[in-house]
Structure 1
Amino acid sequence: MQKNYKVVEILPKQGLEPRQFLRYCFGIAELSPPELLEEETDSQYRKKCITVLCAVLGVQRPTVRKWGSDLNFDGIPNYCKISLAYIHAAEIVPNQLNSILTGEYNAPEVNAQTFLEKILLEGLTEQQRLQTVSHANFRATCVKTLTQVLHIGTKSVQDWGQDMSFHKMPKIHKHTLGYALAAISKSSKAWDKQAA
């Protein structure tokens, strides 16, 4: 179990600010300040930014608008910034930018149980899986893994349910778990090379 659990260590520890994330998305992060200003003051830019944030986070336009009236989106919750960091680490955008802007993109959705099985149980024999799952600390490990990956409080996670399915987990966190797996998969290719 320990080997797999270490996999979450390769995820970004810090969230990514929306403005910086959007600059990466639109391929303008490397521009000079005057060029950035020109891009970011384009009349359609904020509208496109809102479209991107809605699509990748699976939220509605009014929600994104509530996060702020400028390009910093200062009201965005920290757990959404974490999602943005995972999306960036997984290199989903700018590759998917066209499908996002045309409304054809579907944010990945992974439930808690699928995520935890992949992180904590994948690669174990049936016997090892049984030992792991029946261990007294298994639920605590599940809660700890989710709080670490989602960057939210332990109490919130515990309130999502008593078993590994955490069936009351809000949909927005299922997207984060989907991006976390994508980022892990991208990074673990590098991780495997390192370990070899």
Structure 2
Amino acid sequence: MLPADAEKIEITRTIAANFTKAVVYTAEKVLGVKYDRVIESHDYIPSPLDIEAPFLIKAGTVGRITHRMEGFVDTIGPEALFTIEYHWLMGDGMLPEGVQPGQYYVATIEGRPSMRMTLDIKVSNRNDDRTFTLGKLNIEPSYVATLTPCLQAVPHMLVAEPGILPSFGPSLHWMQDLRDSVGNI
């Protein structure tokens, strides 16, 4: 699909915005700031070459969609205070510049001092396997890392009042059974 055609598909922006809003506004809460404005953007990047995994994506058609949301606090500075950017892509050749295969999360903090860190989610640190077998399924390890917090939220949702459950920060200590954390938020 050509980038201009992909931009017309609203559902991709809506799905991405649901996730990025949750992260941006949780960061606002955790950082103790109030955003003056939040800007959402989506970039449709064409592949420079044909990609043949798991199906053919022809050169010139969309090989990566970059979803971005930025929160600005004008009293702190003209640049975004917090930005989340994530990528839906096909093939390692469409990774953003400076990102290596297996680097699922890259966090950059600009300041004095500045910092860049990556979180590599792997099947094993001892090999380069991209999936592992669970029953009859081949599982990508980042799916487990994404699904785990969703499952951990279930006990909190079960005891919550009707309405929107506000985000809550990570636990300050590890618990073997997260059902014990209900009421301790």
TM-score by length of 2: 0.23
Hey, which of these two has a bigger chunk of strand by percent? 2
Q: Relative contact order, CA 8 A, sep 6+: which one is greater?
A: 1
Q: Please say which structure displays the higher CA radius of gyration.
A: 2
Structure with higher helix content: 1
**Given the two structures, how large is their TM-score scaled by the length of structure 1?**
0.23
